[in-house]
Structure 1
Amino acid sequence: MRFLKLTTCIILGMSPATVWAQDTAGTHETTDETVYLGTIVVSAPLNPEAEDGLSVTSEALALSNPADLSELFAAEPTLSVGGGIPMAQKLYVNGIEENNLAISIDGARQNNRVFHHNTTTLIDPSLLQAVRVDAGVAPADAGPGALAGALEYETKDVGDLLDPDDNFGGSLKSEYGSNGDVFSNSLTLYGRQGGFEALAFGRFATGNERDDGFGNEIIGSTTAFTSFLGKVAYESENGGRFEFSAEQVADDAARPYRANIGAIIGGRPVPPTRNYDLTRTNYSLEYTTTKSAAFWDPTLRLSYSGTMLINDELGTPADQYTEGETTSLNGEVSNRFALSFGELNAGVDFYSDETSLDYRNVASPAFNSSGGEKLDNVGVFAQFRMDPTANTRFSTGLRADFQSFEGIDGSTQSTDGVSYNVSGEIDLSDRVTLSAGYSHVWGGIELAENYILNPVWDYSASEIEDVTSDNIYVAASYDAGWAVLDGKIFSTEIDNSRAASYGGGPALTADVASKGFELGLSTNWDNGFVRIGYANIDTEVNGLSADSYNGNYLTMPLGEVVTLQAAHQFNNGVILGGNAEHTLDYTLTDTLYSSSVDIAGYTVVNTFVEYSPENVPGLTLRAEVNNIFDEGYVARATYGQDFPGEVEPLYEDGRSIRLSAQYTF
């Protein structure tokens, strides 16, 4: 079974849409949201189900064994993660920060803009069954606010883990990382009886501060992480399925005072670290059917998500306490209609998002403040997908959103707008596929970050402008027989993105643009594959080259990135593989603060060997060497490296040996 799965991931990672469709046709029935087995489906837009999408599926997660966001997306040159430590990591898709995407976890909308110095969406890859990214052009049913695309995390289900003939199972995994003496232990239990099923997962990770490639201790890099996932479901004989999921991840430890920065040189005096206690929760109740009919394939979902960050500095010289929380109550009612000429997914969704801040200063109570903003949105949408001919695929959608906003002073504002998208592809031959897509997205009003909320903001001075975006891509793929070559050019322009500041007021905005292209070359053989990717991305803020300061919540200077991923399976149960990332030296010119600044490139290589002995079914042993050459570097998407002499950025981990043992029963 292990061999078959790896073979599938080879096919999916390296082949155009025609092969993808042939491979999946015999596996499961699916909807647009389903992601099949495979390593990385880099079919943007060559996967007819994904439109402008790419997918990281369960086999990709097993192959790469990611511990955080940076490892989860390491094989994709257009997906950049910076931050140095999980508490500070942010994801950039085609150069645009993830807050500008419609993010969901098990269908639940995320509202995680708490503090610009910490991570946006804290997630444990161990929980995940699949990840889907619609980069740039996203369908209307991906949700509201998909200014630069959509990002969907899908956690594990009982059906993903149990064989059809089994009713109970589980797995126990222990892992050790030499850099920082990081220990991680997780337990998963799952079962089903009759129409009922349940799953429980828990993971605990602890460790000391780690060293970078220069041998220096990375400040605030200890590991203190927990994650939990629970699911219960019931499926009736007629196919109606109810599922409730609850997920929580938490990180609680001393971090750099500004979590995404090693230090500010010459700034106001602050201690080197303070405690960051971050907890993200996600609850979702969903009804679907596994026995759909032509006009009956519904989705009913009610979800709640929230992120709370606490910086407790009481009893320290600062003697202050800060608590920021974002929440989202959201839901969807939709139905898929199977028509003779395609499929129509239509419905209504809503969200009620809130932000709140509670700040207390013991020494200066006059600075105490509390309050928040609130945003309600109701949307109606329709997305139509069809295959006009045997060699063409087409998708188009429309949505309208209606918003009501309330500021920290109780003032209100209402607005509405329309979004639309269109994409398609054509197989010119059995070797050549061309595709293109465009979307215009109305995002309306965005909530401000919690930590900059100011109780004296005057919303009456100027209304908050509606944010809109335009995305476009053109792509091509050529199957040469011995390899597949693919390429894509893309552009995202966001107008009037809210850029509120504590002293500047609630209505400031910024214009953001990202343009670039990517190239890929992949080949596979009976037991393995190799893929090389290249991306070149330029970003701007207000017409000038983007820097990491003006790019907060918007973008980051990225430049050129090359990625390599390879794996080979031997007939004795051994899999050998690895990946590499090389970023080229980058001269950033014409920013708001500098005419020219050099950003150093780097090369990082990781490798692994995994063994599943045939005489011990269910046992998997794995050894990794990450950053083999002990490169000292700052990830390209990390804040501050474009401000030499002013900011000391967070460096990435140096060489680490990671050992793990997993037993599945």
Structure 2
Amino acid sequence: MNLSRLGILLITTAFLPVPAALAQDAEGATFLGTIRIGSPEAQALLGNDEISEEEIEQRNPQSIRDVFDGETSVTTSGGAAIANKVFVNGVEESLLSVTIDGARQNKSAFHHTGNVLIDPALLKSVEVSKGLAPADAGPNALAGSLAYETKDATDLLEDGDNFGGMTTLTFGTNEDQVRAGLTLFGRSGGFEYLLSGTRSDSGSYEDGSGVTVPGSEADLTSYLGKFAYTSPTGHRLEFAASQTEDTGLRAGQAGPGGIIFIRPDFAGVVGRPSVLVPALSKRTSYTLTYTKDSATDWFDPFFQLSYNEQEIDASGVFGTNESFSGTFKNRFAIAGGDLSVGVDFFDESASGFGRGPGPFGSSGSEDHWNIGIFAQARQDVGERVSVSYGARYDWQEFEAANGQTFKDDGFSANGSVDYKITDALTLNAGYAHSWGGYELGEAALINFGAPWTYAGFTTSRSDAGRIGLRYERGAWQLSGAYFETYVNDINAVLPTGGDRGAIADLSSKGWEASVGYTWANGFVRANYTDADVELNSTTIGSTAYYLGRPVGKAIALEGAVDVTDEWTFGGTAEIAFKNRDTPVPLSGYEVANLYATYTPSSFDRLQMRLDVRNIFDATYTSRSSDGVGLGNVIALTEPGRSVSLTANLAF
């Protein structure tokens, strides 16, 4: 069936039960509690996974890459923090809506660096939407969304305590890593606060063959502050400020104009000698949020204003992305569920300049403005049927680097159905049509070498669909789904010859499956993803910046067991299969990690943890890394075996 026709059918099906549901008496129109389609199991099959606080703690992430251990649908590129990019089913995060604590994040300013610099020290959860982003996830959710949430004081304080703290210290063998963090938090009356700082430092790591990868050292500093006040009647106002900075010497090579550009995503470029030069990636965020505890059926608000700035110093060029955004929404109780209604906006800019001679010293900026209205409902409409459906409309204005102004608007809609065939077997399906609008170009290279042109500049849109089954019986959980995502008319963010009006079409389609077994003191889980990612109907290359990567087929394993009240053992593994769809076949690899934690019963505020990553000392390159399989690029290999010891102390 044609994907758009399938989508119309699903959305129509989702809306059909609504009149009957709304016709119930006033007593039956109140919120009925947890909505079945909103359950973790149903959402996971629809492609909306949550990486929970417990899972993050089990993975003990030292970087954003480690957060997604045990996942196959979400992958990251390698190297230092400055280079890390996140991909969802092979689609780069710049085509997704990315938020931190609800605050919108802009993209990177340079294509050889990552998009959103994140330190996972206080990360509480990550919600991943693979294609089917709801209307209240925000604008530009062409291929889904990534929503990061950090902890606050109430997450860390124990009952009855008004002050606390925790400190962590990690030593790693491979790159002589030292990572230290300190967090203080407390509350008094209606006030609460959290202050946290993290410092990570290391040398360049060695891969599985014992070869040092120059410029891969950690040099990261992160700060987070949160302050909140909750009134006696439940009105809560929170202010958060954070700054994460990655500095250090990074590998660079000569480029246009004879100037040096950092390429921390490569180990080297064939025929171009590498030198180590200082580089910078920096993200600064401020967020003000209003909510209400003990909300009523008709007043459950979320009001937020945020400012986000990302800077990249790539030696030969410098770029800055700024974003001022806001969301004002309220959740209403309706028959069998709830309805989220609101308005959001963003005002963003990209600006940069070159440090070379003549046209390679040019500068410029682009500005992008959006306002949208949305509504998203989630309902149980019977004992076996649950639905989610919504729509949004966006208006955009774009000011180009040459002074031209572009305006457009568009409609987005989504619908999904969760149907219990039996008590153990459930079918669900979903479809989303998203209007993406315009895209800011790469800040650091605006007008670099020649003035940018905008002939043919247009707005993008996407269609995404999923259908799957899940089975739950006792300790067993099994699921499988087929997915397709098409993103069309993507303007060139990194334009060839300055042609911003060039357009491209991207698709990601394939299968996902998961099987898990849980018992009283442990679990094991296996995930499988087969994602065929194409650009203009051809298998995508490994340097399709701001678009995607040829991830292919992969299996991830994860498990843990509490052997005693004091000891826990666990691990993860990734198996990437050879990808023969690319012009040069990409090699497969297997990598495994193990850990053990010890929490003495006589002093449970202390936890000691031993991690052994890449236990078999494999020499491999992450499937999502840049330049894999290209003859003119020396791709980054990942760290070889690394043993680390972490001490966590709460006080």
SS of match in other structure, 1:308: strand
How far 1:396 sits from its partner (Å)?
0.4
The correspondence for 1:264, drawn from 256, 269, 277, is 269
Amino acid at match of 1:381: F
In structure 1, what is the equivalent of residue 130 of structure 2? 135
2:264 equivalent to 1:277: no
In structure 1, what is the equivalent of residue 257 of structure 2? none
In structure 1, what is the equivalent of residue 432 of structure 2? 439
In structure 1, what is the equivalent of residue 422 of structure 2? 429
How far 1:306 sits from its partner (Å)?
1.0
Amino acid at match of 1:412: T
2:185 equivalent to 1:183: no
In structure 2, what is the equivalent of residue 310 of structure 1? 313
In structure 2, what is the equivalent of residue 467 of structure 1? 460
The correspondence for 2:561, drawn from 564, 568, 575, is 568
Cα 1:30–1:426, aligned 2, differ >3 Å: closer, same or farther?
closer
How far 1:452 sits from its partner (Å)?
2.6
Whole-angstrom distance in 2 between the partners of 1:52 and 1:290: 29
Unaligned runs of 5+ in 1: 1-28, 313-320, 590-595
Whole-angstrom distance in 2 between the partners of 1:366 and 1:116: 20
Whole-angstrom distance in 1 between the partners of 2:503 and 2:646: 47
Cα 1:414–1:530, aligned 2, differ >3 Å: closer, same or farther?
same
Say whether the 8 Å CA contact 2:317–2:352 is kept in structure 1. yes
In structure 2, what is the equivalent of residue 526 of structure 1? 520
Say whether the 8 Å CA contact 2:143–2:462 is kept in structure 1. yes
Cα 1:586–1:366, aligned 2, differ >3 Å: closer, same or farther?
closer
Amino acid at match of 1:478: Y
The correspondence for 2:234, drawn from 213, 236, 239, is 239
Deviations 1:274-296 (A, max 9, x none): 22211101110010001211111
In structure 2, what is the equivalent of residue 399 of structure 1? 392
Whole-angstrom distance in 1 between the partners of 2:108 and 2:167: 34
How far 1:557 sits from its partner (Å)?
0.6
Unaligned runs of 5+ in 2: 1-31, 253-262
Whole-angstrom distance in 1 between the partners of 2:173 and 2:274: 28
Cα 1:658–1:494, aligned 2, differ >3 Å: closer, same or farther?
same
SS of match in other structure, 2:86: strand
State the identity %: 38
How far 1:365 sits from its partner (Å)?
4.7
How far 1:410 sits from its partner (Å)?
1.5
Structure 1 residues 448-527: aligned runs within 5 Å: 448-454=441-447, 456-457=450-451, 459=453, 462-500=455-493, 501-527=495-521
Deviations 1:372-421 (A, max 9, x none): 10000000000011110122221001000000100112111111001000
Structure 1 residues 295-374: aligned runs within 5 Å: 295-312=298-315, 321-361=316-356, 364-365=357-358, 367-374=360-367
In structure 2, what is the equivalent of residue 193 of structure 1? 188
Amino acid at match of 1:294: D
2:633 equivalent to 1:647: yes
Deviations 1:251-309 (A, max 9, x none): 0011122111111113xx45333222111011100100012111111111110011001
Whole-angstrom distance in 1 between the partners of 2:90 and 2:62: 23
Say whether the 8 Å CA contact 1:632–1:654 is kept in structure 2. yes
How far 1:42 sits from its partner (Å)?
6.4
Moved more, 482-491 or 372-381: 482-491
Say whether the 8 Å CA contact 1:411–1:459 is kept in structure 2. no
2:545 equivalent to 1:552: yes
Say whether the 8 Å CA contact 1:379–1:399 is kept in structure 2. yes
Whole-angstrom distance in 2 between the partners of 1:179 and 1:482: 38
Say whether the 8 Å CA contact 2:492–2:499 is kept in structure 1. no
Whole-angstrom distance in 2 between the partners of 1:391 and 1:661: 47
Cα 1:415–1:194, aligned 2, differ >3 Å: closer, same or farther?
same
Amino acid at match of 2:352: L
How far 1:76 sits from its partner (Å)?
1.1
In structure 2, what is the equivalent of residue 19 of structure 1? none
Say whether the 8 Å CA contact 1:457–1:506 is kept in structure 2. no
Amino acid at match of 2:499: G
SS of match in other structure, 2:571: strand
Amino acid at match of 1:83: G
The correspondence for 1:537, drawn from 526, 531, 535, is 531
Whole-angstrom distance in 2 between the partners of 1:530 and 1:586: 27
4+ residue runs over 6 A deviation: 29-32
Say whether the 8 Å CA contact 1:254–1:275 is kept in structure 2. yes
SS of match in other structure, 1:600: coil
Say whether the 8 Å CA contact 1:109–1:330 is kept in structure 2. yes
Q: RMSD of aligned C-alpha atoms?
A: 1.7
Whole-angstrom distance in 2 between the partners of 1:651 and 1:165: 49
Whole-angstrom distance in 2 between the partners of 1:406 and 1:134: 30
In structure 2, what is the equivalent of residue 628 of structure 1? 615
Say whether the 8 Å CA contact 1:286–1:302 is kept in structure 2. yes
In structure 2, what is the equivalent of residue 608 of structure 1? 595
The correspondence for 1:149, drawn from 132, 144, 147, is 144
Say whether the 8 Å CA contact 2:353–2:446 is kept in structure 1. no
Say whether the 8 Å CA contact 2:110–2:314 is kept in structure 1. no
In structure 2, what is the equivalent of residue 390 of structure 1? 383
2:82 equivalent to 1:96: no
Whole-angstrom distance in 2 between the partners of 1:188 and 1:30: 35
Say whether the 8 Å CA contact 1:105–1:282 is kept in structure 2. no
In structure 1, what is the equivalent of residue 369 of structure 2? 376
TM-score (normalised: structure 1): 0.89
Cα 1:43–1:70, aligned 2, differ >3 Å: closer, same or farther?
farther
Question: How many correspondences in the alignment?
Answer: 606
Whole-angstrom distance in 2 between the partners of 1:508 and 1:31: 46
Deviations 1:457-485 (A, max 9, x none): 4646x241110000000111112435221
Deviations 1:100-144 (A, max 9, x none): 110001111011231110111111111211111111101000000
In structure 2, what is the equivalent of residue 599 of structure 1? 586
Whole-angstrom distance in 2 between the partners of 1:74 and 1:149: 20
Whole-angstrom distance in 2 between the partners of 1:217 and 1:45: 39
How far 1:30 sits from its partner (Å)?
9.0
SS of match in other structure, 1:503: helix
In structure 2, what is the equivalent of residue 20 of structure 1? none
Say whether the 8 Å CA contact 1:573–1:614 is kept in structure 2. yes
Amino acid at match of 1:601: G
Whole-angstrom distance in 1 between the partners of 2:463 and 2:170: 44
2:217 equivalent to 1:222: yes
Whole-angstrom distance in 2 between the partners of 1:458 and 1:55: 40
Amino acid at match of 2:621: V
SS of match in other structure, 1:515: strand
Deviations 1:471-527 (A, max 9, x none): 000111112435221101111100011114151412111100111101111101111
SS of match in other structure, 1:330: strand
Cα 1:582–1:441, aligned 2, differ >3 Å: closer, same or farther?
same
Whole-angstrom distance in 2 between the partners of 1:441 and 1:606: 38
Say whether the 8 Å CA contact 2:446–2:452 is kept in structure 1. no
Amino acid at match of 1:561: A
Cα 1:353–1:446, aligned 2, differ >3 Å: closer, same or farther?
same
Say whether the 8 Å CA contact 1:158–1:190 is kept in structure 2. yes
Deviations 1:556-602 (A, max 9, x none): 1111101100100022411100010011112134xxxxxx3121111
Amino acid at match of 1:646: N
Whole-angstrom distance in 2 between the partners of 1:178 and 1:239: 49
